[in-house]
Amino acid sequence: KNQVEQSPQSLIILEGKNCTLQCNYTVSPFSNLRWYKQDTGRGPVSLTIMTFSENTKSNGRYTATLDADTKQSSLHITASQLSDSASYICVVLSGGSYIPTFGRGTSLIVHP
């Protein structure tokens, strides 16, 4: 069964600090992996999309990595801001059919 596991479940950091969120998946065959930011009560917003051949992709202060061999991805947030407080969701798409597998998300709280 396809699964996406994220850790930690929640994280509290101080403004200005960096953090890294983890995503492990068992989706096969693999097509691409996405990171989303979801503010409370809002729809997810795409941060990055990574295909099998991509190891790193950046979007401003967000940098995602992908290790397709170990089936792991990480999202690194640099110099966190209060507005980074949100849930960060890892989603993996399988090849051949579009049925995404969502992780439960990491809830990030950034304190001043």
Among positions 21-80, residues that touch other proteins (CB under 8 A) are: 31-32, 38, 41-46, 49
Candidates 45, 57, 60; CA nearest to 91 is 45
Q: 11 or 15: whose CB is closer to other proteins?
A: 11
Q: 18 or 83: whose CB is closer to other proteins?
A: 83
Measured from the CB of residue 16, what is the shortest distance to other proteins in angstroms? 29
DSSP per residue, the chain: ---EEEE-SEEEEETT--EEEEEEE--SSEEEEEEEEE-TTS--EEEEEEETT-SEEEETTEEEEEETTTTEEEEEE-S--GGG-EEEEEEEEETTS--EEE---EEEEEE-
Q: Are the C-beta atoms of 101 and 4 separated by less than 8 Å?
A: yes
Measured from the CB of residue 75, what is the shortest distance to other proteins in angstroms? 16
Q: Which of 103, 106, 108, 110 binds other proteins (CB under 8 A)?
A: 103
- Pick the stretch among 9-17, 21-29, 77-85, 91-99 that binds other proteins (CB under 8 A): 91-99
Measured from the CB of residue 108, what is the shortest distance to other proteins in angstroms? 16
Residues in touch with other proteins (CB under 8 A) = 31-32, 38, 41-46, 49, 89, 91, 93, 97-100, 102-105
